[in-house]
Structure 1
Amino acid sequence: MTIQRTSAEENHSSDTSTPDDKKIATKSGRWLWFWVGMSGIAMISATAGALLAVSLSSTPLMQAKLSPGEAAVFDGDRISGSGLRFSELTRPVNILVMGMSVLPPDVQNPPSETKGLRYLPQVNSFDGLADVMLLIRFDPEKKNLKMLSIPRDSRVEVEGHGVKKINSANVHGGPALTAKSVSNLLDGVGIDRYIRINVLGVGKLIDALGGVDVYVPKDLKYQDDSQHLYINLKKGQQHLDGNKALQLLRYRHDENGDIGRIQRQQMVMRALMDQTLNPATLTRLPDILNVVKEHIDTNLTVEELLALAGYGARTNRSNILQLMVPGRFSEKNEFDASYWIPNKNRIAKTMAQHFDLQTNAQTNTQANNQENTSLRIAVQDSTGDEKTNLQPLIRTLEKAGYRNVYIAKHSGEPLQVTHLVAQQGDNSSAEIIRDAIGFGEVRVESTGNLGSDVSIQVGKDWVQKLNSLEESLKK
């Protein structure tokens, strides 16, 4: 179902860019903004941590002024070591990351250069809508890193302001109210620190990292002259510079709206994680550092940033999980606006499994029993050959006791190895399915079919397995 938005919402949430001014980035770099900044800092942490500390200490990282009550929303306990161990995490940490989309009407005193324009440019501020929200858990005890995307249209109670889209909490009360809203949505999870990143540096950050090699899932074309928004990308494997990567990350004009954009962002995130942490990145560290310093507001200290970045650099890529708040699109005319409706039962399970929150045991048992009998499995042909026979795989799943199996379209990159995507974060069920079919790689992401619990993105290894079965039958 397509997310419907009013024209007022659309004008406010759309981003602007001019061909002559690559500085104007967009709100939809989202997942990318945090990781690109962290990737650059991680390189320095590994090679020149002391120099970075000296450089950053001369510029305050915190640009907001929190009252004592607002500061108390966040856990102020130390998260990193002391002395020579200042760059090591000492406990699990939950960081709320917000990507800021700020237009001149959002701020009391917009820059003079924005007046008289025929379009709305982005401005370098941390006011306005927090159109990206990630809750990232760094867990040195379990040696993993979990990134939970919170859709900007999630329908929540914003304390003191009634039921709103969660991205408006920053407008009403900054990072503290946003943290409260996120915690209330996610079963009371504690939030240790926050990071707000303005969009203006996104293109520069990607360019500083040398661009990104990524598969564009389909032809993407969109034009909005009033917003100076121009998107024109062709399907296929490409090397994207900052401007083109932003086009991919900004696009949301398809049937899945902002949720589809989150899926593309996870795809870009995976590509960046695979390519940016290498010696070649070291030559671009000055550019990366300058961009991060200009566009960040956080209550993390320099030492804590170094500890998080160092941990991220050391984490095995297979231990980085990308999740999304479970829910559904609102129905047409169900509410006065379009929303992402969170699923409370699934949220409870996600938070218990991935954020170590204690939940009602009976509720969990009931949910588990229900899912064991009606697990939704989407089979997606990712071989690149539309003639691939998927029926033997479906029969195998049915023989293993799975009854809710269906074929779904997949427009992503052709795969050599089959991916079993734990769409709802349930990696244990995905691993059981892998054991049942005997091949594939389990991934905890939200890049599968939205209606599934597990999406099997069938790669060319299935074709090889099928050919082997056919040959054995001939003998």
Structure 2
Amino acid sequence: MSNLAVKTNQQRKKRNRGLFIALGLGCIACLSATAGAILAVSLHEYKPLQKVALTSQEQQVFNNEKTVRGIAQLDRPVNIVVLGVKVLTSDLEEPPEVDLGYHAVVDSFEGVSDVILLLRFNPRQQKLTVLSIPRDTKTYIPGHGVAKVNAANEEGGAPLAAQAISDLLGGVKIDRYIRINVQGVEKLIDALGGVTVYVPQDMQYTDHSQRLYIDLKQGTQHLNGGQALDFIRFRHDSFGDIGRVQRQQLILRALTEKASNPEIVFKSPQIINIVQSHIDTNLTVDELIALSTFASQINRMNLEMVMLPGEFNGDGRTDISYWLPNYDSIEQLMAEHFDQGYARVEYEDPRNLKIAIQDSTQNPEAVAALVLRLRRAGYQQVYVSRDWGERLPATRIIAQTGNDASAIALRADLGLGEVLVESTGVFGSDITIILGRDWQQQLNQATLSKHNQ
């Protein structure tokens, strides 16, 4: 075991982390085209976007091919690594001169990355793909050995993190990076007026050492920046970091829909100040305009959010807890969603698909009817999971592992539902169906038709 791995594990025990603070990119990238233009003009006049200069060798980690043509248009697909960093006073080698009496957040980019995302802006397919990489992923960090991937930024900044991520993903090209700290995410969400999400359970947690007090109630809630971070950082559920990945994706989708509001243009001055103060990136201003314009035109169906395939190695009680990558599945995922290599064309037998059902209708008969319908259609591994408390008007068909073809085929079998490619469904399923009122309405219509015959 490397010293770096041991060091990282010890740090994890001391920190209440899990802040998927790369959500700030969702705020930035989802600006309207007009807001992006205003942002660009202002940034040209003030602070540079890049806070840390890169050496010529570090610059070679990134693909320097041209990304923009004309006015605010992407010339090709662009891959961006996003690192969310949180540094506390207790993490510093030299303690602050004044003892605050608790572990305060420091305005810094030089720490482990609690959030690691790879974004692909693809103008050819008009898609935005988000790959979430669990922070505990076991991988090789060049020059430092085997460790958790989140240690790369602390050891060598964005270039080393980008190189480690590229290696983990089969050599995918990384074009740019963005690093954002926790203060920036909270302020960006506040600048957007907060976000509305469904909180699936009551969440209470107290850590006096960080002055962290989480108190969220189950149900649909409108969260400010601090509450949104509390929603993501909450750690007392069944799946640890994977649960935080799921909540991160829920917030990202909510931010996408929130930021499409034209009124965001009037909040540009606040956003400009936040970007200048809390983000480090090698994106140019022209690239930022192009990304903002592209993201503003992406519809709900073309935002895809997937998670690095893998499995837990244990509960962390007797050894270091890792997320172990499944390299065969990673290869397939990168081919399908990042044009990296060649995807295997395989027929997915419905009998092999694990289908989880979550009921939002509070109607057991409707659930039983769905199970019967699926099994008659050839889906044999169907099971009912915990209810979804939010009452949904339309059924959601979630491609949990990123297999949108199978989800689309299932939708055709049911004749209803919205297909979403994201990892917010039941962990361990291939597809999760969250049953909505439209299924109940379909059943009622079928019953009425029989009576009229």
Bin of the TM-score, shorter chain as denominator length:
over 0.9
Q: Which amino acid aligns with 2:300?
A: R
Q: 1:467 aligned to 2:444?
A: yes
Task: Report if aligned partners of 1:100, 1:129 keep a CA contact under 8 Å in 2.
Answer: yes
Task: Report if aligned partners of 1:380, 1:408 keep a CA contact under 8 Å in 2.
Answer: yes
Task: Report if aligned partners of 1:57, 1:302 keep a CA contact under 8 Å in 2.
Answer: no
Task: Report if aligned partners of 2:132, 2:308 keep a CA contact under 8 Å in 1.
Answer: yes
Structure 1 residue 328 displacement after superposition: 1.5
Cα deviation digits, residues 363-408 of structure 1 (max 9, x gap): x35xx3576541111111122x153431221122122222211111
Question: Which residue, 330, 335, 338 being the options, matches 1:347?
Answer: 330
Task: Report if aligned partners of 1:106, 1:127 keep a CA contact under 8 Å in 2.
Answer: no
Cα deviation digits, residues 147-194 of structure 1 (max 9, x gap): 111111111111122211110111111111111111111121110000
Q: Which amino acid aligns with 2:378?
A: G
Q: Which residue of 2 aligns with 1:76?
A: 64
Q: Which residue of 2 aligns with 1:13?
A: 15
Q: Which amino acid aligns with 2:330?
A: I
The SS at the match of 1:245 is helix
Say if 1:228 and 1:294 are closer, same or farther in 2 by CA, change over 3 A. same
Q: 1:30 aligned to 2:25?
A: no
Question: Which residue, 112, 115, 122 being the options, matches 1:139?
Answer: 122
The SS at the match of 1:271 is helix
Say if 1:389 and 1:50 are closer, same or farther in 2 by CA, change over 3 A. closer
Task: Report if aligned partners of 2:232, 2:248 keep a CA contact under 8 Å in 1.
Answer: yes
Q: 1:241 aligned to 2:241?
A: no
Task: Report if aligned partners of 2:355, 2:431 keep a CA contact under 8 Å in 1.
Answer: yes
Moved more, 328-337 or 60-69: 328-337
Moved more, 48-57 or 250-259: 48-57
Question: Which residue, 396, 402, 406 being the options, matches 2:379?
Answer: 402
Cα deviation digits, residues 339-372 of structure 1 (max 9, x gap): 111111211111111111114x7xx35xx35765
Q: Which amino acid aligns with 2:23?
A: L
Question: Which residue, 157, 163, 175 being the options, matches 2:158?
Answer: 175
Question: Which residue, 393, 403, 418 being the options, matches 2:395?
Answer: 418
Task: Report if aligned partners of 1:415, 1:459 keep a CA contact under 8 Å in 2.
Answer: yes
**Counterparts of 1:279 and 1:397, CA distance in 2:** 42
**Counterparts of 2:366 and 2:299, CA distance in 1:** 34
**Counterparts of 1:381 and 1:319, CA distance in 2:** 25
Moved more, 443-452 or 179-188: 179-188
Cα deviation digits, residues 21-63 of structure 1 (max 9, x gap): xxxxxx6143421111333xx33x4257266334344311111
**Counterparts of 1:73 and 1:153, CA distance in 2:** 23
Q: Give the number of aligned pairs.
A: 446
Structure 1: gaps (5+ residues):
1-5, 16-26
Q: Which residue of 2 aligns with 1:103?
A: 88
Say if 1:30 and 1:406 are closer, same or farther in 2 by CA, change over 3 A. same
Q: Which residue of 2 aligns with 1:313?
A: 296
Say if 1:412 and 1:276 are closer, same or farther in 2 by CA, change over 3 A. farther
Q: Which amino acid aligns with 1:392?
A: A
Task: Report if aligned partners of 2:354, 2:430 keep a CA contact under 8 Å in 1.
Answer: yes
Structure 2: gaps (5+ residues):
1-7
Q: Which residue of 1 aligns with 2:356?
A: 378
Moved more, 463-472 or 71-80: 463-472
Q: Which amino acid aligns with 2:359?
A: D
Moved more, 45-54 or 250-259: 45-54
**Counterparts of 2:90 and 2:316, CA distance in 1:** 29
Cα deviation digits, residues 64-104 of structure 1 (max 9, x gap): 122211110000111012xxx24111001000011111123
The SS at the match of 1:390 is helix
**Counterparts of 1:453 and 1:440, CA distance in 2:** 16
Task: Report if aligned partners of 1:207, 1:241 keep a CA contact under 8 Å in 2.
Answer: yes
Q: Which amino acid aligns with 2:162?
A: A
Q: Which residue of 1 aligns with 2:76?
A: 91
Task: Report if aligned partners of 2:40, 2:288 keep a CA contact under 8 Å in 1.
Answer: no
Q: In the TM superposition, what are the counterparts of 1:435-474 in structure 2 within 5 Å?
A: 435-474=412-451
Structure 1 residue 243 displacement after superposition: 2.2
Q: Which amino acid aligns with 2:444?
A: N
Note the aligned Cα RMSD (angstroms). Answer: 2.3
The SS at the match of 2:110 is coil
Q: Which amino acid aligns with 2:212?
A: L
Cα deviation digits, residues 223-254 of structure 1 (max 9, x gap): 11122110001111222222222221221211
Q: In the TM superposition, what are the counterparts of 1:52-451 in structure 2 within 5 Å?
A: 52-81=40-69, 85-108=70-93, 111-112=96-97, 115-332=98-315, 336-359=319-342, 364=344, 368=346, 373-383=351-361, 385=362, 387-411=364-388, 413-451=390-428
Say if 1:139 and 1:370 are closer, same or farther in 2 by CA, change over 3 A. closer
4+ long deviations beyond 6 Å: none
Task: Report if aligned partners of 2:350, 2:380 keep a CA contact under 8 Å in 1.
Answer: no
**Counterparts of 1:435 and 1:324, CA distance in 2:** 25
**Counterparts of 2:316 and 2:99, CA distance in 1:** 37
Percent of aligned pairs with the same amino acid: 44
The SS at the match of 1:28 is coil
**Counterparts of 1:391 and 1:50, CA distance in 2:** 53
**Counterparts of 2:245 and 2:365, CA distance in 1:** 28
**Counterparts of 2:44 and 2:170, CA distance in 1:** 35
**Counterparts of 2:340 and 2:36, CA distance in 1:** 37
Cα deviation digits, residues 100-152 of structure 1 (max 9, x gap): 1112344455653xx42332111011101111111000011111110111111
Task: Report if aligned partners of 1:127, 1:171 keep a CA contact under 8 Å in 2.
Answer: yes
**Counterparts of 2:403 and 2:204, CA distance in 1:** 35
The SS at the match of 2:190 is helix
Task: Report if aligned partners of 2:80, 2:178 keep a CA contact under 8 Å in 1.
Answer: yes
Task: Report if aligned partners of 1:417, 1:461 keep a CA contact under 8 Å in 2.
Answer: yes
Say if 1:9 and 1:407 are closer, same or farther in 2 by CA, change over 3 A. farther
Say if 1:435 and 1:202 are closer, same or farther in 2 by CA, change over 3 A. same
The SS at the match of 1:226 is coil
Task: Report if aligned partners of 2:82, 2:119 keep a CA contact under 8 Å in 1.
Answer: yes
Task: Report if aligned partners of 1:203, 1:243 keep a CA contact under 8 Å in 2.
Answer: yes
- TM-score after normalising by structure 2: 0.92
**Counterparts of 1:234 and 1:48, CA distance in 2:** 35
Task: Report if aligned partners of 2:358, 2:388 keep a CA contact under 8 Å in 1.
Answer: no
Cα deviation digits, residues 304-334 of structure 1 (max 9, x gap): 1111111111122221111111112222479
